[in-house]
Structure 1
Amino acid sequence: MIVRIMGEGQVRLDDSHLPGLNALDDELLDEMEHGDEPGFRRTLAALLDAVRSLGTPLPDDSLEPSELILPAPGATLEEVRELLGEDGFFPTDAAPGASA
């Protein structure tokens, strides 16, 4: 799966990492629903750090289509709400590589 972090670039993630990332995604959704700004900041940073550390960066000149687009680290709650689907960034029922 190719994931883009806005303002940073793309990484290739192995599908085996999706369950752990989905757990962080679920936590982020919960914090957003409850207006927990400190929790939101902490979990967004953890999610982006996990994607960076688990993924393999693609070259800057790579033109791979991104299957997921994640917000920049400084994104606001409102900006993230606009990017999120109903099931978060990592939907549990979507097969890797499937298009919505």
Structure 2
Amino acid sequence: MRANNISDVAKNDPVICLYGESLLAKHKRQQIANVVSNKIKEMARLLMTIISMDGDISNFFDVLRFEMFGTLLSATKIISGYDDQNKSFKAPF
């Protein structure tokens, strides 16, 4: 990954790191590294969006509580570009 704020969030979150390690352990082919990198970036963007919505959140462990489901759902809609009027999604950025 390129060194930027998304990679910093991904590297500093234990859940994201464990998820990446798990994916890499399952898939041994070199081509999968790009796919895993993209998945990790998506999770880091999701965490960054949730942190911007709720300042009390610092990592994915905090997000995985039941009380945070509504915030997680709202952040997912923001990242995916959900349009309430058309009931459609854009591609994630």
- Give the TM-score normalised by structure 2: 0.33
| Structure ranking higher in strand proportion | 1
Greater RCO (CA < 8 Å, at least 6 residues apart)? 1
Going by fraction, where is helix more abundant, 1 or 2?
A: 2
Question: Considering only CA atoms, is the larger Rg found in Structure 1 or Structure 2?
Answer: 2
